[in-house]
Amino acid sequence: MFRNDLPSLLFEKIYKVEPYPDSVEPVPRMIEETAFFPGGKGLWMENTTNILPSILVLGQDFSALKEYLKIVNSKSKDLECPTWRNIIKLFKEADISLSECFFSNVFMGLRKTESMVGKFPGFKDKEFTQRNLEFLAFQIEIIKPKLIITLGRYAINMLANLSSQTLKSWKKAKSFNDIDEAIKFDVEFRNHRCNCVSLVHPCMRHSNIKRRRYNNYMGNHAELNMLRDALNQ
């Protein structure tokens, strides 16, 4: 499989999460610029490369329908949002190449709400949630990442549901303070194993990063060293 084939391969299978609940709108098409899948292609498109992504970065969902339409109509760019600004800065500090990452979400679809923050409305539909869980397993199967990075606490719960024991503490966590180990090594996802790191959501990074702890590190240094250790072990 070639790098540029990956987004289309995944997008062609999104029908597997249907039907969508009333609160969620299907993504009509992928935006032709750097943006999280499925709203965008999930690839870093700011330079030319043939690198096949080996790091899967997972948010909760793409955004609200109105925000997606703003990008489609060229009234805004996804790269200009706080999420991307903080990801770019953090990954540069951690020596993570953005070209090695596939940026995706645990839920497919767009919110039919005014707000694009908080718990995804699709969570209320258990069958829809289960279908998205299966699609998440499919993403992992296709990408075969060496590292999975979750952004925010809602993505943690979905990923933990794919690993019966290793991420047990993540599944029970109500907040980041409840996570006893924010980095997990050799996590099994059906027929694949990789390391996992849970990060605070980049859009709220400046407010929440001070609470992070890892070994003897605090704040930003904690998450930097989580990422470095996860990549090097």
Separation CA 144–CA 189 (nearest Å): 10
Q: Would you tell me which CATH number, out of the four given (3.30.470.20, 3.40.470.10, 1.10.275.10, 3.20.20.70), belongs to the domain 3-232?
A: 3.40.470.10
- pLDDT higher than threshold 90 for residue 77: no
Q: What is the crossing angle of helices 219-232 and 82-93, to 10°? A: 60
Instruction: Give the model's pLDDT for residue 140.
Output: 97
Q: Where are the beta strands (DSSP E) in the chain?
A: 24-25, 55-59, 101-105, 110-111, 147-151, 183-189, 192-199, 213-214, 217-218
For residue range 194-230, list pLDDT tens digits in order. Answer: 999 999 988 878 778 888 888 999 999 999 999 999 9
Say if residues 183 and 226 touch (Cβ distance below 8 Å): yes
Amino acid (1-letter code) at residue 158: M
For residue range 90-128, list pLDDT tens digits in order. Answer: 999 999 999 999 999 999 999 998 777 788 999 999 999
Question: Strand, coil or helix: what is 98?
Answer: helix
- Region 122-144: mean pLDDT is 97
Q: How many residues appear in the chain? A: 233
Per-domain residue ranges of the chain: 3-232
pLDDT above 70 covers a percentage of the chain that reads 97
pLDDT band at 136 (very low <50, low <70, confident <90, very high): very high
Say if residues 89 and 76 touch (Cβ distance below 8 Å): no
Instruction: Give the model's pLDDT for residue 197.
Output: 96
Task: Give the pTM.
Answer: 0.95
